[in-house]
């Protein structure tokens, strides 16, 4: 499985309103996010899900977005500012080998890993880092593009998650995606 990062300029296509015809952010994340939560979004791109996550956590919550591409983070920050949500979004550039969010140890309620795990050089390390920052009982929604990620590769990701201390809670349906809702043990 290759570990190439989506080019930053494709981020414009990923936030295109037409995408809402088959993947509506509010329908995908609303079942898992409530006001006051701390949410992590690795690989947010230009923020297709970020704005909805920020609305759902409210003024007492926080969405921490980390991406390896500064261009994605800069455009995400602009979209967040235009939406007036900058008080609840912490957007950070991170090195490729780590999430760079150790300061969140044991404080995260929910992580949205949407179309990102397949781009990482080490899924095991990713899930270990998520386990360290997640509260007991925290959820992780993993969704990978079904036309891009093989079932066997997705199963290997879930094995890595299990080894890091996550259990499979559900298999939500998201169009054009392989999905799993994980819970930290």
What pTM did the predictor assign? 0.89
Residue 13: is its pLDDT beyond 60? no
- Mean per-residue pLDDT over the chain, rounded: 91
Establish if 161 belongs to a structural domain.
yes
Establish if 15 belongs to a structural domain.
no
Establish if 176 belongs to a structural domain.
yes
Establish if 88 belongs to a structural domain.
yes
Higher pLDDT, 25 or 81: 81
| 117: containing domain | 24-184
Establish if 89 belongs to a structural domain.
yes
Q: Report the CATH number that the domain containing residue 147 is assigned in CATH.
A: 3.40.50.150
pLDDT tens string 77-103: 999 999 999 999 999 999 878 899 999
Residue 76: is its pLDDT beyond 50? yes
Nearest to 127, CA basis, from 81, 180, 166: 166
Establish if 83 belongs to a structural domain.
yes
φ, ψ at 62 (rounded to 5°): -150, 140
Establish if 126 belongs to a structural domain.
yes
Residue 150: is its pLDDT beyond 90? yes
Nearest to 114, CA basis, from 157, 152, 58, 166: 157
User: What is the distance between the alpha carbons of residues 177 and 163, in angstroms, rounded to a whole number?
Assistant: 23
| Res 110: pLDDT | 98
Q: Please name the residue that has the structure tokens 């006001």.
A: 35
Establish if 29 belongs to a structural domain.
yes
Work out how many domains the chain is built from and give that number. 1
pLDDT class for 23, splitting at 50, 70, 90?
A: confident
DSSP letter (8 states) at residue 88: G
In 10 A of CB 3, how many CB atoms?
12
């Amino acid at each position: 499985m290759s570990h190439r990062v989506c080019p930053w300029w494709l981020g414009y296509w990923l936030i295109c309103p037409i995408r809402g015809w088959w993947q509506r952010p509010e329908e995908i994340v609303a079942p898992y996010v409530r006001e006051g939560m701390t949410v992590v979004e690795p690989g947010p791109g230009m923020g297709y899900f970020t704005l909805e996550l920020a609305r759902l956590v409210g003024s007492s919550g926080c969405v921490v977005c980390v991406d390896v591409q500064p261009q994605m983070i800069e455009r995400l920050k602009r979209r967040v500012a235009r939406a007036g949500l900058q008080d609840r979004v912490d957007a950070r550039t991170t090195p490729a080998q780590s999430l760079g969010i150790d300061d969140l140890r044991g404080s995260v309620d929910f992580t949205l890993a949407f179309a990102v795990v397949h781009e990482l050089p080490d899924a095991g390390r990713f899930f270990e880092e998520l386990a360290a920052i997640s509260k007991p009982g925290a959820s992780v929604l993993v969704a990978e593009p079904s036309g891009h990620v093989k079932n066997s590769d997705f199963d290997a990701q879930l094995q890595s998650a299990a080894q890091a201390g996550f259990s499979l809670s559900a298999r939500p349906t998201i169009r054009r995606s392989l999905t799993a809702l994980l819970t930290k043990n």
